[in-house]
Amino acid sequence: MDARTVAVIGHGMVGHRFVEALRARDAEGAWRVVVFGEERDAAYDRVGLSSYVGAWDRSRLALPGNDYGGDALVEVRSGAAVTGIDPAGERIVLSDGSVVDYDALVLATGSYAFVPPVPGRDTPGCHVYRTLDDLDAIRADAEAALARDPGAVGVVVGGGLLGLEAANALRTMGLRPHVVEVNPRLMPQQVDAAGGEHLARMIAGLGIDISLSSGTTEIARTADDAGLAVTLEDGTVVDAALLVFAAGVRPRDELARGAGLQIAERGGVLTDRTCVTSDPAIYAIGEVAAIEGRCYGLVGPGYTTAEVVADRLLGGDAEFPGADLSTKLKLLGVDVASFGDAMGTTPGALDVVVSDPIGGTYSKLVLSDDATTLLGGILVGDASSYGVLRPLVGSSLPGDPVSLIAPSRSGDGATIGVGALPDEAQICSCNDVSKSTLCAAIADGSCTVAELKGCTGAGTSCGSCVPLLSQLLTAQGVEVSKALCEHFSQSRAELFEIVSASGIRTFSELIRRYGAGTGCDICKPTVASILASTSSDHILDGEQASLQDSNDHFLANIQRNGTYSVVPRVPGGDITPEHLILIGEIARDFGLYTKITGGQRIDMFGATVDQLPQIWRRLVDGGMESGQAYGKSLRTVKSCVGTDWCRYGQQDSVQLAIDLELRYRGLRSPHKLKMGVSGCARECAEARGKDVGVIATESGWNLYVGGNGGMTPKHAQLLASDLDEKTLVRYIDRFLMYYIRTADRLQRTAPWVEGLDGGLEHLRDVVIADSLGLADEFEEAMERHVSGYSCEWKGVLEDPDKLARFVSFVNAPGAPDPTVEFTEKNGRKIPLLIGSPTFPAPKPVPATR
C-alpha cells in the first residue's frame, strides 16, 4: 500500500516534534510527511532565542535531527511560504503558485508578534522579537547606533516574559534598555503585585529603566534622523536608537480563516481535544490551536498536541489532557517562577507569603481553604524550590507550608525532597514525564541522568527538571559511585582537596594514607596531574616519573609507529622568521615530517626517543620551549590578526592571545585546554569552539567558557561581556582553578559546566559574584603557577638523571630502532608499520655487555 501524505505547515519546535513523534510510531511507513517552513532555517529552539545574542551562531539553536537525514519518508521545504488551503480539493498552494496534495493536513503555524496600533509603529528602527532574522535586524541597528553613541537607549514595549528577554538581549548588545509596560507591574501573567514590586526593584538595580502603567502614544524619527523619539502616555519623550515590540503574540490563523475553518472567539483555529479542526482532515497543533477555545503559548502543551495528532493519524485515541502553564526562568540574572493557580483565583484560596526585600526574594504559596492542598505559587529572586513545589500542585502538603519557602522556620531544618512527591507528579512538564515513569526507567537499569534523559525524554527541552533527576536517582537508592578507581574511594575533586590540605607530594604516601593497593593506570596519572596542578615540581622528578602515561613520560606525543612528535610553543600563533627557519632546519636535519596544526603551531613527526633531547636542545637554545602537546594542560591560544592587520579588528587579539598563553602555559588540568581570541565578532579564531573563548567588542572583551571540539562538539557559552583586560584575566583565572579543583578525571570543560548544579548561572555566581568566597584563593593559586613555571624540556636537558631515560633500548644505548621505517605517499613522509608487506618484523637487537 502506498503511503498517504500528511502536509505540515510550519517547521518550528512543535512542527518538528510532530514529525519526530509520527515517524517514531509509524513503523509500517503509512504516512509520508512534507514539511513547509516559511523561515529559511529548519526547526530551531525558539525558547532559547535570546542565547543567539552574543553568539550569533544559528547552528547552535538548531534542533537535533531537523533535517531528518536518511529518512526517505520526510521532505522538508524551508523558505517555502504557503499562501492558501483548499480543503475541498485537499491541497495547499505555495507562494510560487505550485500545489501540493494532502491526505491529512497539520497546521503548526504558531504565532506572530503583536504590534499595538501605535502611530509610527512602521517607522524604520522599530522591530519585533520573534525570529533569528528579527534579532539580526535589531543587531544591525544596535551596532550602528552604538558607533554614534555608546550610551544609546533601546526601548522595549512590553514588560512581560518576552519583553524582559528582549531587554536582556538589548543589554547584551550594549544598549541601555528602557521597558514600557501598560500594566502596573512587570510580568503580569506570572507574578502578583507584590512579586512584581520585587522584580521591578531588582531589575531597575541592574541599570534598566522601567515605565509602568504607561503606554506608547507615538513613534517618530528624531529631527536628525539618527534615532527614534518615543512618546509615552505621560508625555515623556524617550530618545532611542531603536524600539522592540514585545507586547505578546497572536495565533497565526490567517490560512485557516481563508480556508473557512472555524476560528475561536479570541483567535486561533478551533479544535476539540483530539486537535482536529472543523475539517476532519485538518489538525492544528501548538500556539495556533485553540483547544476547546483556548490557545496555549508554551512549548510543553504544544509538544503534547503534536503527540496527540501523531497518535490519531495512526489510529490511536489520544486526547489533549490539559496543560501545565508553570514557568521558571532567569531574566537578567533574576529567578522568576510561577506554577498552578499563582494568582489565587480559586474560591477561598489562602496565601502564605514570605517577603524579604533586603535579600531580594519573594515567595508565595496558594493553598486550599483548609490549608491542606497546594494550589500554586510564585517565586521571585530564588526559585530553587520550584522543581519540588510544582509537582505538588493538587496534592496534600507534606508539612508546614511556611517551611517550604522559609526552611529556617522548620524545627529540624528539613526541607521537602523529591521522594515526598506522589507517583503521578509530573517531573518534566515540557515532555510530560511523571515520577512513576522515571522510577520505572530507574528500575529497568537507567542509573545516570544521561540515561534517564535518553530513555524518557525528561530534561531534554528547557532542562529545569534536571536537578530533580539527580535527586530521584538518589531517592530510589541508586548509588552513584564517586570513586576514582578501585584503589581510591574518593573522587578526583576530593583527592585534590586532600593533596592541597595535607601537603602530600608523593603517590605512595597518598595511597598509603587514603587508598588501598598499589594503584593503576587510572589513579596514577590522575594523581600525577593533581600533584602537578598543586606545585611547580618537574613531572619527571623522583617518584612522579613512574606515574605518567606514555606521552607525559617522554614529554612528546607517541605516534602509531612508535616514534614521537615534537611541538614547540608558538604563543598565539605569533612566530618570528628565525624560529620558522629553526624549525625547518631541525625537521630537515632529523628527517621529520612537518604539519601546521589547527592550533597555529608546527608539529614535527617521526622523532625517535633518543633524538628527542637533541631536538629539544636546538629548540631551547634558539629561544623556543615545550608546547605541551603531550599533556593534559593548556595546548594553544589561537588568535586572529586583530587590530594589527585586519580592517575589522576591534582589539589587539594577537597580544592578548600571547599574554594568555604565556600566563597559562604548563597549567595541568583534568583534561586538555584550548583557548581562542578573536579580534571582532567575525570570529576568525573560532574562539567559541574552545574551553575559553575571548571575542573583542568595541568596549572590551566578551568571555565565553565551556566549549570544545572532538567527538561531541560544544559551543562555549557567554559568561561575561565587555570586560577590561584585567577583569577578563581575573575571571579566567577563577574559571580555570575552579575547573581544575572540581572536575572529574578526563572531564572536558563542556560536560563539567553542564554537570554543575545550576549550570552556567552557578558558574557565573562563583566566578563573578564569588558566591563560594574562593576567588582570592583561586587567584593566588594561579599566581603561584605563573611564578613557578619552567619549561619541561629544559628541565630534562639540565638533569642527567632525566636525560638517561631517553634511549631507544636500555640494553643497547645508541643503537638505532629497527622498527622505525618510513615511506612516501603523495609527496608526504609517512610511517611504515611492522608487519606490512613492505616492512617485515625486525630481527631482535643483540644485547651488549
Answer whether residue 292 shows pLDDT above 80. Answer: yes
Q: Is the pLDDT of residue 158 over 60?
A: yes
In terms of domains, do 217 and 277 share one?
no
Residues 261 and 233 in one domain: no
Residue whose entry in the numeric block shows the C-alpha cell 522595549: 156
pLDDT at 849 over 60: no
Percent of the chain whose pLDDT exceeds 90: 52
Is the CA virtual torsion 268, 272, 276, 277 positive or negative? Answer: negative
Domain that holds residue 698: 632-790
Beta strands 828-832; 821-825: pairing state = antiparallel
Same domain, 770 and 640: yes
pLDDT of 340 strictly over 90: no
- Band (326; pLDDT cuts 50, 70, 90): confident
If one compares 324 and 374, the residue with the highest pLDDT of the two is 374
pLDDT of residue 833: 56
Same domain, 655 and 758: yes
Residue type, 275: C
| The three cell numbers locating residue 655 | 597580544
Distance CA 557, CA 464 (A): 42
pLDDT grade for 172, boundaries at 50, 70 and 90: confident
Of 800, 799, 818, give the one whose Cα is nearest residue 808. Answer: 818
Q: Where are the alpha helices (DSSP H) in 694-791?
A: 725-742, 749-755, 759-767, 775-788
Assign 603 a pLDDT band (cuts: 50, 70, 90).
Answer: very high
Q: Which range among 106-120, 247-261, 336-350 shows the weakest confidence by mean pLDDT?
A: 336-350
Q: Is residue 639 part of a domain?
A: yes
CATH number where 680 lies: 3.30.413.10
Secondary structure of residue 219 in the 3-state scheme: strand
Q: What integer pLDDT is reported at residue 464 of this predicted model?
A: 63
Listed range (362-376, 413-427, 636-650, 739-753) with the worst mean pLDDT: 413-427
Rounded (5°) CA angle 739-753-202: 105
Last residue of a domain, one of 790, 821, 838: 790
Distance of alpha carbon 151 from alpha carbon 175, whole angstroms: 7
pLDDT for the residue 841:
43
Establish if 83 belongs to a structural domain.
yes
Report d(CA 621, CA 616) in Å as an integer: 8
DSSP string for residues in 467-500: HHHHHHHHHTT------SBTTBSS-HHHHHHHHH
Alpha helices by DSSP H, listed for 401-465, are 401-405, 435-443, 449-456
Residue, of 71 and 454, whose pLDDT is higher: 71
Bigger pLDDT: 483 or 30?
Answer: 30
Give the pLDDT score at 816.
59
Closest CA to 462 of 337, 305, 309: 337
Above 70 in pLDDT, residue 836? no
Per-residue pLDDT band at 811 (split at 50, 70, 90): very low
Amino acid at position 805, single letter: R
Most confident among 22-36, 58-72, 513-527, 703-717 (mean pLDDT)? 22-36
In the chain, what are the helix, strand and coil shares in percent, each to the nearest 5? Answer: 35, 25, 45
Last residue of a domain, one of 286, 313, 340: 313
| Number of domains within the chain | 4
Question: Is the per-residue pLDDT at 419 higher than 80?
Answer: no
The pLDDT of residue 835? 44
Q: Alpha carbon of 279 to those of 196, 272, 726: distances in Å?
A: 43, 11, 65
Q: What is residue 439's predicted lDDT score, i.e. its pLDDT?
A: 86
The average pLDDT across 253-269 equals 95
Examine the domain organization and report whether 673 and 753 are in the same domain: yes
Contacts of 114 (CB under 8 A, 6+ apart): 245, 247, 248, 249, 250
In a domain, 74, yes or no: yes
Which segment of 2-16, 345-359, 826-840 scores lowest on mean pLDDT?
A: 826-840
d(CA 365, CA 38) in angstroms, rounded, equals 43
Least confident of 42-56, 627-641, 805-819: 805-819
Confidence of residue 409 (pLDDT cuts 50, 70, 90): very low
Q: Is the pLDDT of residue 339 over 90?
A: no
The mean pLDDT of 146-175, rounded to a whole number, is 91
What pairing do the DSSP bridges indicate for beta strands 31-37 and 433-434?
unpaired
Same domain, 83 and 21: yes
For range 308-333, the mean pLDDT: 84
Let me know: does 302 contact 17? Beta carbons within 8 Å.
yes
Residue 817: inside a domain, yes or no? no
Does position 407 have pLDDT exceeding 60, yes or no? Answer: no
131 lies in the same domain as 91: no
Residue 636 clears pLDDT 90, i.e. is over it: yes
The rounded mean pLDDT for the chain is 87
pLDDT band per the 50, 70, 90 thresholds, residue 399: low
pLDDT band at residue 291 under the 50/70/90 scheme: very high
Q: What is the pTM of this model?
A: 0.57
Tell me, rounded to whole angstroms, the distance of Cα 112 from its chain centroid: 27
Summarize the confidence of residues 28-49 as an average pLDDT: 92
Query: Is residue 189 included in any domain, yes or no?
Result: yes
SS3 annotation, 823-849: EEECCEEEEECCCECCECCCCCCCCCC
What is residue 52's DSSP assignment? G
Q: How far is CA 237 from CA 122, 150, 178, 240, 243, in A?
A: 18, 20, 12, 9, 13
Chain centre to alpha carbon of residue 360 = 27
Other CB atoms within 10 A of residue 353 CB? 16
Q: Which triple of cell numbers denotes residue 368? A: 486550599
pLDDT at 423: 77
pLDDT band with cut points at 50, 70 and 90 for residue 479: low
The answer, yes or no, to whether residue 334 has pLDDT greater than 60, is: yes
Is 146 within the bounds of a domain?
A: yes
Question: For position 616, what pLDDT does the model report?
Answer: 95
Answer yes or no: do 777 and 640 share one domain.
yes
What residues form DSSP beta bridges with 337? 328, 379
Which residues make beta-bridge pairs with 218?
231
pLDDT above 80 (res 842): no
pLDDT of 5 higher than 50? yes
The band of 126, judged by pLDDT with boundaries at 50, 70 and 90, is very high
671 and 786 both lie in a single domain: yes
Based on the fold, state whether residues 179 and 142 are members of the same structural domain: yes
Q: Do both 637 and 732 map to the same domain?
A: yes
- Statement to judge: residues 639 and 768 lie in one domain: yes
Q: What is the pLDDT of residue 837?
A: 44
Position 812 scores a pLDDT of 45
Any domain includes 326: no
Mean pLDDT calculated for residue range 383-393:
80
Q: Examine residue 18 and state whether it is found in any structural domain, yes or no.
A: yes
Q: What stretch of H or E contains 240?
A: strand 237-240
Arithmetic mean of pLDDT, 708-720: 83
Last residue of a domain, one of 790, 818, 842: 790
Task: Please give the DSSP secondary-structure letter assigned to residue 263.
Answer: B
At 843 the pLDDT is: 43
Q: Of the given ranges (5-19, 131-145, 467-481, 824-838), which has the lowest mean pLDDT?
A: 824-838
Which is more confidently placed, 282 or 644? Answer: 282
